[in-house]
Amino acid sequence: MKDETLQLESTLPGEVAESAGLRATLNLATLPETGALQRLLRKVESRTAVIGIVGLGYVGLPLMLRYTYAGFKVIGFDIDADKVAKLNRGESYIEHIEAQSVGEAVARGFQATSNFSRAAEADALIICVPTPLNGYREPDLSFILGTADALVPAMRPGQVLSLESTTYPGTTEEELRPRLEERGFEVGRDVFLVFSPEREDPGNAQFKTRSIPKIVGGSTPACREAGLALYGAAVDRVVPVSSTRAAELTKLLENIHRAVNIGLVNEMKIIADRMGIDIYEVIHAAATKPFGFTPYFPGPGLGGHCIPIDPFYLTWKARQYGLHTRFIELAGEINDDMPGWVIGKVVDTLNERGLALKGSRIMVLGITYKKNVDDMRESPSVRLMEMLREKGVEVSYSDPHVPVFPKMREHRFDLQSTPLTADSIARQDLLLLATNHDAFDYEFIGKHAKVIVDTRGVYSGARGNVVKS
């Protein structure tokens, strides 16, 4: 064999591999049991590998685009026939992903399908499906397991299977590996199993799929090398860890870190409010310290698919070890109480103006879980709308990113976004600013509103018709 090496970073835990810099080389002949692995790595290196992306949502769709533009043929799998049809027509159903990008991917050979038997055509299968909680705040792995059960019967030797869905430590080894072994595969020799947590941040223009470092853990050393090669061909920096369990816990730590700090600042918000202090002034002042402080900002509650959900994957798993995650659970309790605290502020604000909550007209400004996106997953704005409706409020909303309230599994409103005019604003008894989109004209809104309850700190200083919440 000629100088058959693949540029990979070191695989020691904690060391960072920079695939763009090609800092280290791995001689494929030195790997144990490398027959299938060498063939896979050669395909990845030559861009002849076929990449299968399973789940074409906020994680899978950007990943598909990245691999397509990196020169790979990509097959996208999704159970939603409408999504499949739109993608094959070159259309996008996610606001921050342009239809032009999808059309270019189709022109480069991308195909979407609901036929999971086509998994045999792929050399790599990357699972990007939801991992919600059930009604008891326990992990719901039905999407992962259903996907695995659909893929594994079609799999063949020489493939790498990567799970990106956030989950508790042990899922890859306890749920996916047995399914592969029951099929007769030897993991690490015949097929390769990887966990590489997604790190997408929808709508964040500063970071793209290519520039966000990728954590990679494998079931075996050979699996890890397959994962490093797979992701190193598409992203600028890959970071190996010692196991799939370490990779799974890494993702949970990232999100728990945010959930706990948001819980802290939400508690500080309540304290500051009782003391008559502007918490946003305090946060901005504290952020001038050049070390030892990271600013987090309060809000009406947690949203998105990660922060409200992922910490409880670890609390559930920790109980199996006889441990109680007190910080995580306390932060969850504080964050979960935020919508109720906001409603209390709304009630007090109306009472001060001689109005009852029941029968009042309230418009919610912004109903996505964060600003400048169309992502409705776990949005606290929707919970606020439901709480107001239950109390007899005439609820409306305005959101330039959500022209019509979408069909959701747990939430139903037959509403369309109300255009913000002087009249539509003035006829409301109260405006509840829940998501601070840049597209809103806050000066215009403030000029015509009777009163605004601001949950995002948009309005600084003292304004007679603004109440901070």
Nearest C-alpha neighbor of 197 from the set 152, 144, 146, 263: 144
CA pair distance 243, 248, nearest whole angstrom: 9
Question: CA-CA distances (angstroms) from residue 416 to 267, 295, 457?
Answer: 34, 35, 26
User: Does the pLDDT value for residue 9 go beyond 80?
Assistant: no
Asked if residue 291 and residue 219 are part of one domain, the reply reads no
The pLDDT value recorded for residue 302 is 87
Whether residue 252 lies inside any domain: the answer is no
Q: Are 312 and 332 in contact (CB under 8 A)?
A: yes
Percentages helix, strand, coil for the chain (3-state, rounded to 5) are 40, 15, 45
Q: What is the pLDDT of residue 461?
A: 74
The pLDDT of residue 34? 57
Whether 74 and 197 map to the same domain: the answer is yes
pLDDT at residue 175 tops 90:
yes
Q: Which residues contact 238 (CB under 8 A, 6 or more apart)?
A: 9, 17, 18, 19, 213, 214, 215, 216, 228, 231, 232
How high is the pLDDT of residue 7? Answer: 36
Same domain, 344 and 410: yes
C-alpha to C-alpha distance for 457 and 469, rounded to whole angstroms: 8
Burial class (CB in 10 A: 0-12, 13-18, 19+), 280: buried
Provide the domain count of the chain: 2
pLDDT in tens, 45-54: 999 999 999 9
- Per residue in 30-78, pLDDT (tens digit) is 454 459 999 999 999 999 999 999 999 999 999 999 999 999 999 999 9
Q: Is 135 exposed, middle or buried (0-12, 13-18, 19+ CB in 10 A)?
A: exposed
- Report the CATH number that the domain containing residue 320 is assigned in CATH: 3.40.50.720
* Average pLDDT value for residue range 77-87: 97
Per-chain mean pLDDT for the chain: 91
Instruction: Give 242-277 pLDDT, tens digit per residue.
Output: 999 999 999 999 999 999 999 999 999 999 999 999
- Between 114-123, 368-377, 385-394, 457-466, the lowest mean confidence (pLDDT) is in 457-466
Per the domain annotation, does 253 fall within a domain?
no
Q: Active-site residue 128, yes or no? A: no
Inform me whether the pLDDT recorded for 286 exceeds 90: yes
Segments forming the whole domain that contains residue 191: 5-242
Which of the four pLDDT bands, split at 50, 70 and 90, describes residue 12? very low
Q: Is the separation of the CB atoms in 49 and 43 below 8 Å?
A: yes
Tens-place pLDDT, residues 324-339:
999 999 999 999 999 9
In 3D space, the residue among 134, 59, 85 whose CA is nearest the CA of residue 375 turns out to be 59
Exactly one of 8, 256, 302, 306 is catalytic; name it. Answer: 306
pLDDT of 188 over the 60 cut: yes
Domain co-membership, 322 together with 448? yes
Same domain, 211 and 298: no
CA angle 359, 361, 364 (to 5 degrees): 130
